[in-house]
Amino acid sequence: MSSSYHQPDAPNSPLDDSDSDLDLDIQELDPITTSVAAGLSPSRKERKPQEERRTAHIPLRNLRMGGLRGLGKRNRGYGDLGRDRDGNNEDLHGLLSDEPGVDGANRYSVGSSNGGEDGAPLLAANSHRRRPSIDTFNKLGSHLRLPSFLSTTGSQAPPDDAEGQAEEHDPSSSRTVSVGASQTARFPPNAVSNAKYTPVSFLPVTLYNEFSFFFNMYFLLVALSQAIPPLRIGYLSTYIVPLVAVLAITLGKEAFDDIGRRRRDNEANSEGYTVLCFDEPGVGNAERYHAKKKLKLKQNAKSKRKTLVEPDRLSDIQEEDAAESRGTGLAHFPSASVREVIRKSRDLKVGDVLKLGKDQRVPADVVILKSYTNESAPIAEENEVPITSQSLLVEPISDPPVDSTAATVAEGHESTSKLGNTPSADAGGVGETFIRTDQLDGETDWKLRLGSPLTQSLEPSEFVRLRVVAGKPDKKVNEFVGTVDLLPVNRAGYDPYLPRPPRLSNEVNPEQPSSSTNSAPLTIDNTAWCNTVLASNATTLAVVVYTGSQTRSALSTSPSRSKTGLLEYEINSLTKILCALTATLSVVLVALEGFEKVEGKWYVKMMRFLVLFSTIVPISLRVNLDMGKTVYSWFIQRDTGMPGAVVRTSTIPEELGRIEYLLSDKTGTLTQNEMEMKKIHVGTVSYANEAMDEVASYIKQGFSVPVSTDASQSMLITPSSTFVASTTVTATRTRREIGSRVRDVVLALAICHNVTPTAEEENGQMVTSYQASSPDEIAIVKWTEAVSLRLTHRDRKGMTLHSVDTGRPVVRVRILEVFPFTSDGKRMGIIVQFLDGSETAGSVNIEAGEIWFYQKGADTVMGSIVAANDWLDEETANMAREGLRTLVVGRKRMSVQQYQEFAASYREAAVSINGRDAGMARVVSHYLERDLELLGVTGVEDKLQRDVKPSLELLRNAGIKIWMLTGDKVETARCVAVSAKLVARGQYIHTIAKLKRKDNAQDHLDFLRGKKDSALLIDGESLALLLTHFRTEFIGLAVLLPAVIACRCSPTQKADIAILIREFTKKRICCIGDGGNDVSMIQAADVGVGIVGKEGRQASLAADFSITQFCHLTKLLVWHGRNSYKRSAKLAQFVIHRGLIISVCQTMYSIAIKFEPDGLYKDWLMVGYATVYTMAPVFSLVLDKDVDENLANLYPELYKELTSGSSLSYRTFFVWVFVSIYQGGMIQGLSQILTETSGPKMTAVSFTVLVLNELCMVAFEITTWHPIMIICLLGTLLVYLGSMPFLGRYFDLAFIITWGFVWRVFAIGAISLIPPYAGKLIRRAVKPPSYRKVQAI
């Protein structure tokens, strides 16, 4: 045994000193087998002290640690290692791993996703000398075994090519994350993208979208027809140029919008984060390395080369180790040195360790490793570890034992030492941190998150020994299952140059056998998802587990889609009618001449007619509308009444004028997510607003502690303290009773909570801030401070209250038990023991002070717990009507015996295996929750955003049905719905919650069918059941209700509701939100509006329109939306009229010249008519407005009219068609009659009348004149008159300057214009439009 253990003359390795970069430490290789086990020889035991002083290194090429820990090898001594190597290759199999040796710098470089580089340094140099050993390993073939911490599947063989690229990670499988190291698989980059297109997809997608519109396809066909000589009429450019212009403008706008999105994404992705980088420790590496080289050279000079598998190879290892240990002293070194670097959000990778502080957004899904308050020592000081001799008694890092038993977990959470039972100084001591998740799930409550006990007490330099195993990416934000493994020293990414780190308490003691790897479970409590925000005044170290598209928030978000406005579809259908009219005209004209009489082929003639009449479908329509959209977007962004407004999708501003359903988020959109204590009722008296000063005076009197004569003791108040300040002696008995009640309820509120105070420095002053999972609790504790009772200290064992006036402690309690708030229980309780100041330090006598049980909760559950009273129901109902969140507060005094009985029963219930929760609840109910003394009721308000109430009322009057979709609790949603006036005062709210059965669902639907004026409040669970089984019936009823509040909605559910309403009603939907959890809903809506939130811009970036306040939405819809739609409708009809009138003239001309498809206005006249001669005046209609902004806000009913689409309908369209036919017929017919059938004189008269007719029609249509309109009209008229002398090719210039030309133009113009204008005036007098009625008021 001993000879196999140490042979000084053993032959050396086949490899020279280059092996020194692959040394393995014996104890790290197998701490189990190196420890002394029962049954070893005496010589082995005697040698033990020598082993403890030795640092043993094994030159092994690509071997990773852990192979010896295979089954069957657990209990072997180190000396047994060489025993069966001659017989088989089992040891070799066991030692092999897929991960080649890694050079130190490369292993610890954070963020390299290329796992293939891992082995590069080993295989590159001296490869010809290393081949024999590699070949030996290759003979093992499929027997290679992956350690569990490197394998995602558990049994997959490593790739043959060690230098190959890391494979893309399969998102459907779980992942193993090496903390602080490069990963073996590739994961998606951590970049946010709201862009709709990629450089590759831009052209195909946009062109497809464009040509899916009928009129674009129509013009493409017309333009292509001009390439056929028999069909060519006039210039080819006449047809090609407008089409190219339209496409260029549309594509340009899309590109501009998308580039803007990318730019904003880039800003978000460039946000800097502190990342911990792990390098090889810098202490003495160079010296150690050179010393080793010399030793190796001396040894190698004495020895010959042998093959790797010779039995005596091990002796060489030991000899080298012995020499090594003689030449160097032993030292404590960390596994890695830590440095901080700033890295952009998009450059973060799986495995990176982030250092996050208060109010920082979490950029990816992370697992929390460690959290400490900012008063603790910073990381920088942990990097330098002094060299000391190794002592097994000193344990520099204390790691709590990780075990699956409840007791151990409780101990880990308790964070108290066994000896003194001292509580942790602060919450951060046990790895606690709070996060705000309102951007993720809409919940207002803060969430408590913990570092795993296994990682919380680790030094950051030891993080490289951690492996996190996480499940596949999932969209469920409230679920997570994983484990964290702590590998033995140097096993994680082994590096030969790294000295040994200090031994951890939970690691192998050389005197005792132990397991190789410590594991701990990970749950949702150990995570922080992307887009949550750290709320604690603590520093949190967390490892990135999911990035980019695999984060919870990204998986809950639907991809961006191209949105097309309803107006586009309406114009598309009108275009089809015009096209049918064109085809009909062509067929009729050919038929009138007779198919047999046609020269050449009749279908060629018909095609030429189709091309001639193509102006009926005006291509300039798209140009005008697209330019109009740009103008509307400019108006919105320049509006001083809504600063910060941004138009991200400039193709749908008209949609803002057609909204019928508004789906709004609650948290951060309607509310500020800031709570404020508004009211307190103590049974006979209610305090609110200014009356709170009276409460403060009672507290000052009630908590005035007399100065103790004994300096060593300070008098403390307990609930039964009889002394009060002398000022109350003269007060009436009633006043004294009220004062006593107020004191009791304030004391109860100051004690019954889960709030922890933290001190922060702001502007050079220390400011106390509070941390808790519920903002309601923080609001109440802030209120108690405002009335002179401040919480100054809180830990797991006690809390202290100070008087704000005197600054002295007035109440000190020991916390005996806390019953946290749950969504089912809807209450929280606490048992405390009041200390009166007479206790000695460290005493834990249970009989030393009064024991009280305090409880607060929702009135629905507390009503049956508190003693009988006659005012609770009435007061809670009054507060609820005001939209306040009510909490009922009660208390009960307990004797020591009662408490001990309770504690024994509670402990017994807590350790039972079956029905533990129910048993614990039964004990609490039996011993505590009976006949509590009712102290009072509090009312807390969730502060609304500015002007939310009037905004919602105005939108409701505008005919918009409002739904509130939130991830928050049912009670919270109800309170906000009432306070925001989403639900009218006194309106019945029908609540559907926790629905599990279909028959119950049918009952609810039947009820709603009979009461359609009620508001509906429904939770996510019930909503899912109704949408699964009664989809059509439910949505059919819900869309008729005046208001719907859906709570506990997931982001996906929000999007589903939006899509469902859109598909069922075919109405336009607007969704508004401010958080990452609203992005799916915003993208699913016809119009998505994002509010720039306090914690993030995800919703704002993904939205079509971005605003800074909810109240700006009314202006966006009622003013800008209405104007955009009405202007576009008028502009579209005018452009159609302009194209139709010229086609009617062409038809009249073709009939007059015996059905020949010959153009009336050719070349420049056609192009000029569509551009310089009419475009500016027609386009100036985008500046028109029928009412001013004040009237639009005063009469939101004007907006209601637009939803019917009356501004652009088949009726208005056909009115314009008849006007066009009449005017075109009169102009062309009279021109031919009064001059000649065909010739330059007729062309001059008809074209001049046509241009003037259009200018006059624009003037007739304008409601409110704008200076630009006048300039456009007069300017265009002057341009036309100025260009006439240059139109000699088409006009008879001699005839133009005669009076005959002038009177003909005026006569024909009058006949063409007067009848339509007269008809318009008569109709306006008989049935005035709404805006005229409003203006007349």
Tens digit of pLDDT for each residue in 848-858? 788 999 999 98
What does DSSP say about strands 272-279 and 538-546: parallel, antiparallel, or unpaired? unpaired
Give the torsion through C-alpha atoms of 858, 861, 867, 869, to 10 deg. 70
Residues 6+ apart with CB under 8 A from 1146: 612, 613, 615, 1159, 1160, 1161
What angle, 0 to 180 degrees and rounded to 10, lies between the N-to-C axes of helices 1240-1261 and 1122-1152? 160
The rounded distance, in Å, linking the Cα atoms of 170 and 191 is 19
On whether the CB atoms of residues 264 and 1090 are closer than 8 A, the answer is no
What's CA 678's distance to the chain center, in Å? 32
**Alpha helix stretches (DSSP H) within 688-732:** 692-702
Count other Cβ atoms within 10 Å, centred on residue 519: 18
Query: Structure tokens of 418?
Result: 């066994």
Least confident of 76-80, 276-280, 1017-1021, 1065-1069: 76-80
Please tell me whether residue 770 adopts helix, strand or coil conformation. strand
Please tell me whether residue 534 adopts helix, strand or coil conformation. strand
Given the residues 665, 744, 859, 1104, select the one marked as catalytic.
665
Query: Structure tokens of 1257?
Result: 């029609």
Query: Structure tokens of 327?
Result: 């030449």
Residue 516 has a pLDDT of 61
Least confident of 503-507, 598-602, 1048-1052: 503-507
Is 90 exceeded by the pLDDT of residue 556? Answer: no
375 pLDDT band (50/70/90 cuts)?
A: low
Burial (0-12, 13-18, 19+ Cβ within 10 Å), 511: exposed
What's CA 435's distance to the chain center, in Å? 14
Mean pLDDT of the chain: 77
What's CA 362's distance to the chain center, in Å? 10
The one-character DSSP state at 429 is G
Amino acid residing at 1054:
K
Residues 6+ apart with CB under 8 A from 712: none
Whole-angstrom Cα Rg for the chain: 41
The rounded distance, in Å, linking the Cα atoms of 214 and 708 is 92
932 pLDDT band (50/70/90 cuts)?
A: very high
Count other Cβ atoms within 10 Å, centred on residue 280: 20
- What number is the average pLDDT over the span 1311-1325? 93
Amino acid residing at 600:
G
First CA to last CA across the chain, in angstroms? 111
| Percent of the chain whose pLDDT exceeds 70 | 74
Q: Starting at the edge strand that comes first in sequence, how are the strands of the sheet with 671-681 ordered?
A: 686-688, 671-681, 933-944, 885-894, 851-857, 827-835, 809-819, 798-803, 789-794
How many residues are present in the chain?
A: 1337
The one-character DSSP state at 64 is -
659 pLDDT band (50/70/90 cuts)?
A: very high
The rounded distance, in Å, linking the Cα atoms of 346 and 123 is 32
Residue 30 has a pLDDT of 44
On whether the CB atoms of residues 62 and 122 are closer than 8 A, the answer is yes
Residue 173 has a pLDDT of 79
Higher pLDDT, 880 or 660: 660
Residues 612-650 have pLDDT tens digits of 777 777 777 877 888 899 999 999 999 999 999 999 888
Least confident of 89-98, 868-877, 1102-1111, 1327-1336: 89-98
Query: Structure tokens of 1256?
Result: 């006059």
Query: Structure tokens of 64?
Result: 């990773």
Give the torsion through C-alpha atoms of 613, 615, 617, 622, to 10 deg. 160
Least confident of 37-41, 886-890, 959-963, 1333-1337: 37-41
Is 80 exceeded by the pLDDT of residue 59? Answer: no
Is 70 exceeded by the pLDDT of residue 844? Answer: no
Only one residue has tokens 């009749």, namely 602
Residue 1164 has a pLDDT of 81
Q: What are phi and psi of 302, to 5 degrees?
A: -85, -15
Sign for the CA dihedral angle at 231, 234, 237, 240 comes to negative
Residue 1253 has a pLDDT of 95
**Alpha helix stretches (DSSP H) within 760-895:** 775-786, 859-862, 872-881
On whether the CB atoms of residues 1322 and 1315 are closer than 8 A, the answer is no
CA-to-CA dists, residue 786 to 99, 736, 742, 1235, angstroms: 61, 21, 14, 93
Is 80 exceeded by the pLDDT of residue 435? Answer: yes
- H-helix or E-strand containing 636? helix 620-637
Residue 1149: which of 596, 620, 589, 583 has the closest Cα?
589
Is 70 exceeded by the pLDDT of residue 930? Answer: yes
Is 80 exceeded by the pLDDT of residue 1030? Answer: yes
3-state secondary structure 299-328: HHHHCCCCCCCCCCHHHHHHHHHHHHHHHC
Residue 31 has a pLDDT of 42
Please tell me whether residue 1151 adopts helix, strand or coil conformation. helix
997 pLDDT band (50/70/90 cuts)?
A: confident
Q: What are phi and psi of 891, to 5 degrees?
A: -150, 165
Please tell me whether residue 621 adopts helix, strand or coil conformation. helix
Residue 557 has a pLDDT of 78
Number of helices (H), then strands (E), belonging to the chain: the values are 48, 37
Least confident of 281-285, 608-612, 1021-1025, 1033-1037: 281-285
Sign for the CA dihedral angle at 503, 507, 510, 512 comes to positive
Least confident of 131-140, 963-972, 1322-1331: 131-140
The rounded distance, in Å, linking the Cα atoms of 276 and 1211 is 69
Count other Cβ atoms within 10 Å, centred on residue 631: 16
- What number is the average pLDDT over the span 271-280? 91
Query: Structure tokens of 1147?
Result: 């038809």
Please tell me whether residue 1066 adopts helix, strand or coil conformation. coil
Q: Is 665 a catalytic residue?
A: yes
Least confident of 77-91, 729-743, 789-803, 1140-1154: 77-91
Residue 316 has a pLDDT of 47
108 pLDDT band (50/70/90 cuts)?
A: very low
Is 80 exceeded by the pLDDT of residue 120? Answer: no
Least confident of 430-439, 627-636, 672-681, 705-714: 705-714
Least confident of 308-322, 819-833, 1183-1197: 308-322
Residues 784-829 have pLDDT tens digits of 999 989 999 998 889 999 998 888 889 999 999 999 888 778 899 9
Residues 6+ apart with CB under 8 A from 983: 977, 989, 1015, 1043, 1045
On whether the CB atoms of residues 1297 and 1284 are closer than 8 A, the answer is no
Query: Structure tokens of 586?
Result: 């062509």
Residues 1188-1198 have pLDDT tens digits of 999 999 999 99
Higher pLDDT, 715 or 1227: 1227
907 pLDDT band (50/70/90 cuts)?
A: very high
| DSSP notation for 263-275 | HHHHHHHT-EEEE
Query: Structure tokens of 1160?
Result: 């009336």
Residue 430 has a pLDDT of 63
Residue 843 has a pLDDT of 57
The rounded distance, in Å, linking the Cα atoms of 452 and 430 is 9
- What number is the average pLDDT over the span 1227-1238? 88
Residue 83 has a pLDDT of 40
Is 50 exceeded by the pLDDT of residue 1244? Answer: yes
Query: Structure tokens of 1225?
Result: 């017929």
The one-character DSSP state at 77 is -
Residue 1304 has a pLDDT of 93
What does DSSP say about strands 885-894 and 851-857: parallel, antiparallel, or unpaired? antiparallel
Within 13 Å and on the Cβ side, how many CA atoms surround 878? Answer: 11
Higher pLDDT, 930 or 714: 930
The rounded distance, in Å, linking the Cα atoms of 886 and 1025 is 30
Is 90 exceeded by the pLDDT of residue 103? Answer: no
54 pLDDT band (50/70/90 cuts)?
A: very low
| DSSP notation for 273-296 | EEEEEEE---SSHHHHHHHHHHHH
Residues 381-411 have pLDDT tens digits of 433 333 333 333 333 333 333 333 333 333 3
Within 13 Å and on the Cβ side, how many CA atoms surround 522? Answer: 28
Please tell me whether residue 319 adopts helix, strand or coil conformation. helix
Query: Structure tokens of 1247?
Result: 């074209």
Least confident of 480-494, 658-672, 876-890, 1322-1336: 480-494
- pTM for the model stands at 0.70
- What number is the average pLDDT over the span 222-242? 76
